[in-house]
Structure 1
Amino acid sequence: MPSSPDFPPVLLLAQRWTGVFFQSSCLKELGLRIQLGHLPRERCSTPRELHPKFVILHTNGIFEIAIDACDCEHALSAGSDKIQLLRAGLFPATDDRPRTAATFEVLDEWMVSTLQAKTTMYDFYKMLEKRTDNAGGCVPNRYNAFIQMSQEYAHLQMLIRGGRGHDSTGMDSTRPGQLAGWENASPDDQYLYIIFLALDACFRLKRRMVSSWAKDPSLSGGWAYFVESPEYREFLMTVTDQKEMSTCSGLAALDYANTKFARGYSATGVGMGVCARHEFIQLNGVGDLQRGERYVAFGICKHGFASLLRHIHHRLRKIISYDIVCQWWKRLKSRLAKLPKLVRLRIVLAICRFVIPKLHIEGHTLLCKVSFSLNLVPGSAQTDGEGIERPWANIGRVASSTGEMGPGSREDTLNNHWAWWNWQKLLGMAERLRTRLDHAKTEYAAQLEAFTTFSTQQETHVLRWRAMVEAFEADGTQKNPYAVEMKALTEAQVLLCLEQEESQRAEAGVPGIHTVSPSSFVAAALEVEDQQWNSKKAGTTAQEINLIALRRDLRRSIRRLRTLQATYTPAVILELAKHQAPEGEQPENEPLFLPSSLSAAQRAVEPVHGLAVIEDQLRDAQCAMSLVLLRNQLMIKARFLLYKRLHARHQGANTRARTLVVRNESKIRLHSEKYQMAHAAKLRLANGDEAKCGWRKLLETDIRCMEDPDDLRKSAVERKKKMDRCLAREDMLRATGELPPLTAEEKEQARRNASENTCEVSWIWTCAGTNGTNDLTFRSR
């Protein structure tokens, strides 16, 4: 029953009736012979059997087939045995005297299964065996042959996709990176021609010390994503163990450097460079790690980074993202100059910006946050730099397989998976970009109003700020306008200036009315106020025990203050006579009658004029410092909440995390109440005129993180309930007289802010005062 190669392979397995039941039977037993080198249904005059037990692997199983090659007068046109098999859609296991072949269909199915579902070779081959005979029968073992065929087939597919082999030079002319497939723009359009590169390492992609490059060479050999292995291995031989010092906290990559958990492994991981925006794996941008993430030995950090830059125009602007870039970029230029000649280059650092991904930067110091933030780099838009984590999540599922492979097989397998990844990313790019564009339009409309309002409030500073920002963006060595600069004077500094002025007046012959100067008198009164405030915070048993001593000291301080008030503010004596103290009143509840508590008429008849001015200056310092401390605690709160949501699991960990959050909340409340108290005093000194006060009223709805991810996920109803609770708490404080009452307009404004768009940045992050003389310089984008 001779046949031609168009015989449907799906019918290679048949069911034969034995007289009792149907039994699976190969068509070879029924007389089927497949003829190569001829048209369908055409006979060969001199057929030649390839092998008596020739095996074909197909999607429905593994079978022995009677197959003949053409050996007649048409043999020259038919070609060699290998060519005849390929023309019939069969991929031979060897070039010389093949005895096994796989259909293109089964190889294509294997490619999709492993690239998309991350199926292992072992499981796929076992599936073919079960499809052949699931009753434990004898099936030809061609596992090793199938491994070799699939590797070669994947390599040829990459050559086809790369357009190689079509000319006279063939595959040998393929250059490194060739299989992975503006300059005159105006300053306003230069951001369109910036390439974003993200670097990172994956310690899951280890490889044990099995096989060798001599026994298992790579078929691609640096033509795709891995660096050229011979040159890279030679470079690693020149590297000795290094102890890298970190000047930044929280760098886990450096903690893993020089790790001792490398015994038995030829590679302890993989370093890689990708496009930070679209997550495409870069040409020749992958290198094996040797004992962790050592600076020089880490392939992607130095050797691999220089290798991928060979394929990028040297004058193209670059933004390089790496989670430890604050350490890695140091002496980068000199280190790149010491690399092997193949990848040695002189990078133009003037057109490069180094940044830390937005999630990783939360674990760095404040200096790193203002020096390497993506938010402060022109042209970065909403790039987060974390895109490289997604290829790691995809490729991590093959780590168990590649860890046991030889070096060449592992390199070709990973290259194949990354080629598939790039292709899938390309297919989904149009839809992804459109989604991001729609989201960007919505966010732009939501934030434009808040930004316009802020610019209007700070109109006198906008031009100067814009000039500073443009200078910094043009030259990163210029002064960083986003760095935190505390220009406001503290209470101690203000007091020192006042005492120096009083000393100068005393030297000029202006006598004082008391040995205690006016500024010292007001400072003492504010200190007593702080003592009262601390006494009200007692809650635990230990604090209650200390409260007795605190009250004793507080009574002593109040008596000294009353003596000074009899000299500087005699009106206080009359107020004390009117004050009917309830029986058993504690000293922390006793009114102090500072200058801000007196009426304008009472302050006008003071023996020493200017006490209100002194208190006003000290209250300014209190407002400024309270805002700085409040912002710091809010940043800590955001970090605590993020850590709790991502890492705290089970009751014990959640309880400890919640304890830290509650402790931080008490500090937030302390600083906010200190600001509110100082603001209320300034408002009284200004006779209720908000414009003269110079500081905005702080509502509880204003006390929020710059970007609160928890609030963003809440519905409008939940945000309204939260706002109502905030206003209720404020009403209780205002009913006791600790805070001034809110007007109906202020309550309505608070409700609107909480219900409409809690994503807007609170004013505490954008301005320090409203009098146009911002004593505190704190800018953040």
Structure 2
Amino acid sequence: MSAHLQKRKRGRPRKATVNEQSIPNNSDDEIYDELPAAIRTVSGELLDTALASVIVEEEIPTVGKLKRSQGASTKLQDALDHLPALREQITQSLHHNPGIGCPCACGDQNAVFTCSLCSGRQMLCSACTVKQHSQHPFHRIFQWKTDVYGSAFSPISLLDLGLVLDACTNGFQPCPRASSDTMKLTVVAVNGIHELKIRLCGCRSPATERLYERWEQLLQLRLFPATFAFPRTAFDFHALEQFHVQSLTSKITVYDYIRSLEKLTDAVFPQDVTDRYREFARSFRIWRFLALERRAGQQHGIDSHVPHRTEGGLATRCPACPEVGFNISRAEIDALPDDLKYTSRLVLSVDANFKAQRKNKKTKEDSGDIVLNAGHAFFPDDQDFTEYIKVTDAAKIKEPNPEPEGIICNHFNAKTLQNMAKFKNVVISGVVAVQCARHGFFLPGALVDLTRGEAYNRTDYAVCNVLAENHLNENIAITYDIWCQYGINLPKRVQKFFNTLYPLAKLVFGGIPKMHIHNHREFCELIYNLNWLVGMGLITGEMIESSWAELNLTAGSTKEQNHGNRHDSLDEACNNWNWDKLIRLADTLVRLYCDAKLQLNRRQNDFNGHCSTVPPEKLAEWHSIPAETTFDVNGKVVNCPFELKLENGPPTHQAAYRKLMEEEFSNKKQKLGLFEGDSAIIAIGLAIERDQCSVARLVSAKRPDQEDVISNRRNQLTDKLTEFRQVLLERVPALKTLLRDPISEKPEITRLFLPSEFSAIQRDDYDLVALASIEYALREGLAHDTLQEIRNAIRAFNITINFKKTHITGTGANTRAQTHAMVQYNDIRILATGYKVQREALMRLGLPPTDTVLRPLLKKHLKGKDGQALRAGQSRELESWIWRVARPEGMSEAQAKDWQFEMDRMRYFRLRASVDRATEEINILEAEFKRCKTAFDRYAMIWAEMAQAPQSLVLGKSAYAVKKARMFAKLAMRSENARASLDKAYGDALKRQEKRDAEQAAKDAQDAEMEEEGGDQELFEVDLVRDMHTG
């Protein structure tokens, strides 16, 4: 053993990190009652010969301490060393000045005034102070004063010193038409609330020859008036801009912002400062709308340059998604070969958010409140939407059952929890939105309010607004977590209420996001799985979820707002989200491209490895079959190559869930008084159990850089546990006493109160018998799913070993292959532990210890012939029981061979589809780079044209248009440079990935050797269980 590992062994065994999983010792003679020696136990003699180098000391890379930059504590200590000097000098700088009492530079008076914002800490007399601040009226002035307590600085306003601000100036000269009268004004600036005197002028407008009104003169001073008849309050443009940015980034409210300005004005008596909360809130709404209108180009008449868009549009749009007539032409789409048509596909993502609510206020609302954006941003026009809802609600639309028996896929997150949710004291229960699924941009007119759950007619309105905007593109797909239900009759609903869009709606197809699909029935997983849909690339369909996390931060304030203000605020939040996406889009595309290339390499290797174990004649047969699901003219499935076609197979989690849902429907139909939703409750509990395992692994790793991740994951887990307990309490009131206990600060070890956690007597006392039978069925399916995963992992491991032995030469290449095999072996052990977790829970629910199907899994069982090279005597070796558990009993050798070929066939098509998706992703990204630059170039050209347009002859409008043209030209250049750097970026990403793989594999090799010596005794089992695949 190397000296490094010997030293580690003598010390206290270290805990595995989140990436260093291994199986603990057990005393019950099941898995790992004795830790395996290296990795010989998986496939017998093959591993003894092929991986002998695992125990050769010189070939195990030694992993020392990770190189880290100096932490925050090091920098903090440096500051602490200077703390005494810091105390003295900061206090001296803030509260004294060496120039106090000296003659002022003008020579007239002594200098007793200073400004906290001017640099240089210069002391001045009163006259020089006023003169110097004629262009800085919002600076804070302090006077050195002496009283009975002594001498110190005291605040004094420029108003008290005699400053009068001229509303109209010619350079630094006062206006000759200035009035002798002055107007007192309260001004809200970034550093507090000020009182000023302003001298108005008698100038006339060159265009109309009328006198400028007071509010117009204030605007010349960059002050926004609170009212327009006789303004007495105004807001500095800088303050409005600052709050605008802070409200979008820090989610600060108007109330908090004004309170902070009051404290900056007078920290001792902020309550005495003039309150300008209501005036600021009202003025900011106007300011925000004008900024949105200006940035969208509406003040410059941009609609004439983009006639294919809806007039008055205020939304920031995705430059990479295909927009016919802007960044791609119809002719370019038609010229694409059939096998690349998918690169011009627009993919939409639909989802609902039930945090963006609006409360039912006890006080009367402002009935006159209006939406300034008026349907031109993300929310549709109020009047049109209200009339549509009245018509569709009156029609009493009901979705017919998609299947003869009436079983609808009851995806628990999208339906069951929503059905159980309570929408008390709210007028609006949430929103449903449509985004571009590939880049996460909210789409214009596609954000609508919900009143009770996800109503199809409201979602239809959002979707059809997007279809209308993109009617020139006939290649549109939708991802939605309830697409299996929603999409069935979408064309019929569109034909009835949006007749002109019906031809396009018939062409729309969809899928279910990758995270959500695992909780759907098996049919959905095969038909609507994005992994199997041709032309979808590596899209997940889940990007919209991340935008909700951002939008929910504004929900605390928007739920209290009136209808119009809420719509404008959410419009602005969505637009800001889009803008942040737009300015980083080039970098995002580079990252996605590198990831796609890495994914393609890995998937291609897996596919090639599998093909090497399949007879050539079978490969030729399978290659001639399209790797996609085919349908007949009526939409019925003709062939799905990804489906495992076995006459007799094991129960799976999805099959069990499907059967239970059918039974629930039947019970309801027969009015037997049984509970609907029990299956979903247990499925939710099992999903949370997996989340607990995931968090527990992170916690056990004790990595300082993961503290924020752990905190966020724990908060998410606590929310899930709270919601689950509420649902469980409604179903099982007898658990009220137990469920009353608060959730621990460590939610990963909090009890779920699933039936398997109780004894048989307790289950009877708490009325958990029915739920126990459901849990048994679902866990039985999970156990069989895990066994299938183990078989696949062993097969992949054997392929790696065989390939290494046959094709790998050289020390470096052998070391990399060896460490890769170690990673695969760890995967096998993790899955084995996951199986044990399910089996032990099943035994508590009644599974006999002597069950002949779900048997104890010993370390000697974790081996198999699949994927091994043929060798003498192999056919006489006894195969482990895990390879026979899914086969029907009494198979002949030929039947068993055919059965295995079917398993290989399904895996072949799934691996082939995964390679196709990665290849598609690269092609799509290439097209997106081109469209992105085209869009930026087009925007730059449009703004340049608008700068020269007659309506832009006003110098300010023209200058703004030039500024925007330059901005988009820079974005176009950045996009072009990003595309040119793809090869280098991918090379760097590949090196980083290889380094990570090597470090991880070396750690795994060390752990394996430590296990051989009996180390890692402190690891607990749940820390090692990976998130179990549920379907």
TM over 0.5: yes
Instruction: Return the offset for 1:187.
Output: 1.1
1:412 paired residue number? 568
| Distance apart, 1:418 and its partner CA | 1.1
Question: Are the equivalent residues in 1 in contact too, given 2:226–2:279 (CA < 8 A)?
Answer: yes
Which residue number corresponds to residue 320 of structure 1? Answer: 478
Q: Supply the AA of the counterpart residue of 2:135.
A: F
**Helix, strand or coil: the match of 1:389?**
helix
Contact kept in structure 2, 1:204 and 1:396, CA below 8 Å: yes
Question: Take 1:468 and 1:377, find their aligned partners in 2: how far apart are those partners?
Answer: 15
**2:710 corresponding residue in structure 1:** none
Matched, 1:276 2:426: no
Change in Cα spacing, 1:136 to 1:769, as seen in structure 2 (3 Å) is farther
Counterpart pick for 2:185 among 51, 54, 59: 54
Deviation digits for residues 664-705 of structure 1, max 9, x if unmatched? 5995599789x99xxxxxxxxxxxxxxxxxxx99779679xx
Change (3 A) 1:641 1:471: same
CA offset at residue 61 of structure 1?
0.4
Q: Which of the numbers 331, 335, 338 marks the counterpart of 2:493?
A: 335
Unpaired runs of 5+ residues, structure 1, are: 491-624, 677-695, 704-713, 750-762
Shift of 1:442: 1.8
SS at match of 1:226: coil
Distance 1:742 1:259 in 2: 48
How far off is 1:444 after superposition?
1.4
Q: CA separation of 1:78/1:302 partners in 2, compared to 1, >3 Å: closer, same or farther?
A: same
Are positions 1:25 and 2:25 aligned together?
no
Distance between the aligned counterparts of 1:23 and 1:207, measured in 2? 46
What is the alpha-carbon distance in structure 2 between the residues aligned to residue 9 and residue 114 of structure 1? Answer: 26
Alignment partner, residue 651 of structure 1: 749
1:500-511 maps to which residues of 2 (within 5 A)? none
Deviation per CA, 1:34-90: give whole Å up to 9, x if none: 111222332234434897441111100011110122115789598433332222211
The equivalent position to 2:626 in structure 1, one of 445, 469, 478, is 469
Written as runs of structure 1 = structure 2, the 5 A alignment for 1:731-746 is 732=860
**Which stretch of the first structure deviates more once superposed, 111-120 or 235-244?**
235-244
Alignment match of 1:460 (pick from 617, 633, 636): 617
CA offset at residue 741 of structure 1?
A: 14
Aligned to 1:432: 588
1:158 to 289, 292, 302: 292
Q: Does 1:177 align with 2:319?
A: no
Q: What are the equivalent positions in structure 2 for 1:266-665 lying under 5 Å apart?
A: 266-296=427-457, 299=458, 301-339=459-497, 345-455=501-611, 457=614, 459-462=616-619, 465-466=622-623, 468-469=625-626, 472=629, 479-482=638-641, 484=643, 486-488=645-647, 625=649, 642-645=690-693, 649-653=747-751
Q: CA deviation at 1:474?
A: 9.2
d(CA) in 2 for partners of 1:267, 1:334 = 27
1:276 CA displacement:
0.8
CA 1:4 to 1:233, structure 2 compared with 1: closer, same or farther past 3 Å?
farther
Amino acid corresponding to residue 254 of structure 2 in structure 1: M
Shift, 1:373, TM fit? 0.7
- Give how far 1:380 is off: 1.2
The answer to which structure, 1 or 2, has the higher relative contact order (CA under 8 A, 6+ apart) is: 2
State the AA in 1 paired with 2:313. G
Q: CA deviation at 1:369?
A: 0.7
- Corresponding residue of 2:414: 253
1:113 alignment counterpart: 246
Alpha carbons 2:517, 2:524 under 8 Å: kept: yes
- The 3 A distance-change label for structure 1 pair 435 and 50 is farther
Choose which of 130, 135, 138 in structure 2 pairs with 1:7.
135
Distance in 2 (CA, whole Å) between partners of 1:82 and 1:33 is 17
Shift of 1:378: 1.4
Change (3 A) 1:700 1:286: closer
CA contact (8 A) 1:155 1:220 kept: yes
Seen in structure 2, the aligned counterparts of structure 1 residues 286 and 775 have a Cα distance that, compared at 3 Å, is closer
Shift in Å at residue 123 of structure 1? 0.9
Note the C-alpha offset of 1:183: 2.5
Structure 1 residues 190 and 778: alpha-carbon distance in aligned structure 2, compared to 1, 3 A threshold: same
Alpha carbons of 1:56 and 1:355: their partners in 2 closer, same or farther (altered >3 Å)? same
| Aligned residue identity for 1:323 | D
Tell me if the contact between 1:4 and 1:35 (Cα under 8 Å) persists in the aligned partners.
no
CA distance 1:15–1:652, change in 2 (3 Å): closer
Over 3 Å counting, the alpha-carbon distance change for 1:190 and 1:671 in structure 2 is closer
- Name the residue aligned to 2:172: 41
1:304 alignment partner AA: A
Are 2:232 and 1:99 aligned?
yes
Q: CA offset at residue 18 of structure 1?
A: 3.5
- Give the Cα separation in 2 of the matches to 1:311 and 1:148: 33
Task: Determine the C-alpha separation between the residues in 1 that align with 2:265 and 2:195.
Answer: 11
- Contact persistence 1:51–1:99 (CA under 8 A): no
Task: Select between 653-662 and 247-256 the one with higher mean Cα deviation.
Answer: 653-662
Shift in Å, 1:22: 2.5
Aligned to 1:188: 339
For residues 118 and 311 of structure 1, what CA distance do their matches in structure 2 show? 31
SS for the counterpart of 1:272 is strand
- The verdict on how the C-alpha distance between 1:9 and 1:242 changes in structure 2, with shifts beyond 3 A counting, is farther
* CA displacement at 1:253 relative to structure 2: 3.4
Q: CA separation in 1, counterparts of 2:626 and 2:686?
A: 27
Equivalent position to 2:349, from 198, 222, 229: 198
Paired AA for residue 480 in structure 2: Y
CA distance in 1, matches of 2:493, 2:864: 61
1:348-367 Cα distance to aligned partner (Å, 9 max, x none): 24532211111111111001
Tell me, in whole angstroms, the C-alpha distance in 2 between the residues paired with 1:423 and 1:18: 51
Distance 2:602 2:623 in 1: 22
Residue type of the alignment partner of 1:29: D
Name which of structure 1's ranges 261-270 and 377-386 shifts more when overlaid on structure 2: 261-270
Q: How does 1:680-695 map to 2 (within 5 A)?
A: none
Q: Retained in 2: the 8 A contact 1:4–1:38?
A: no
Contact 2:222 2:237 (C-alpha < 8 Å) held by counterparts:
yes
* Alignment partners' CA distance in 2, 1:46 and 1:741: 96
Q: What is the CA distance between 1:439 and its match in structure 2?
A: 1.9
Distance 1:670 1:161, change over 3 A: closer
Displacement of 1:437 in angstroms is 1.5
Which stretch of the first structure deviates more once superposed, 368-377 or 345-354? 345-354
Q: Match of 2:136, as an amino acid?
A: P
- Judged with a 3 Å threshold, the aligned counterparts in structure 2 of structure 1 residues 338 and 177 are, in CA distance, closer, same or farther, namely farther
**One-letter amino acid of the counterpart of residue 222, structure 1:** G
Between the aligned residues of both structures, percent identity stands at 24
Alpha-carbon distance between aligned partners in 2 of 1:198 and 1:164, rounded to the nearest angstrom: 28
Question: Residues 477, 428 of structure 1: CA spacing in aligned structure 2 closer, same or farther, 3 A cutoff?
Answer: farther
SS at match of 1:310: helix
| Partner SS state of residue 352, structure 2 | strand
In 2, the alpha carbon distance for the partners of 1:48 and 1:209 equals 51
Aligned residues: 589
| Larger displacement relative to structure 2 (379-388 or 644-653) | 644-653
Give the AA of the match of 1:280.
Answer: F
Aligned counterpart, 2:277: 143
Is the CA contact 1:203–1:270 (under 8 Å) kept in the aligned structure 2? yes
- 95-104 or 76-85, larger mean C-alpha shift: 76-85
Change (3 A) 1:260 1:61: same
Write the deviation string for residues 437-476 of structure 1: whole angstroms up to 9, x where unpaired: 2122222112212213434526434565455436747987
Asked if the contact 1:361–1:368 (Cα under 8 Å) also holds between the matched residues in 2, the reply is yes
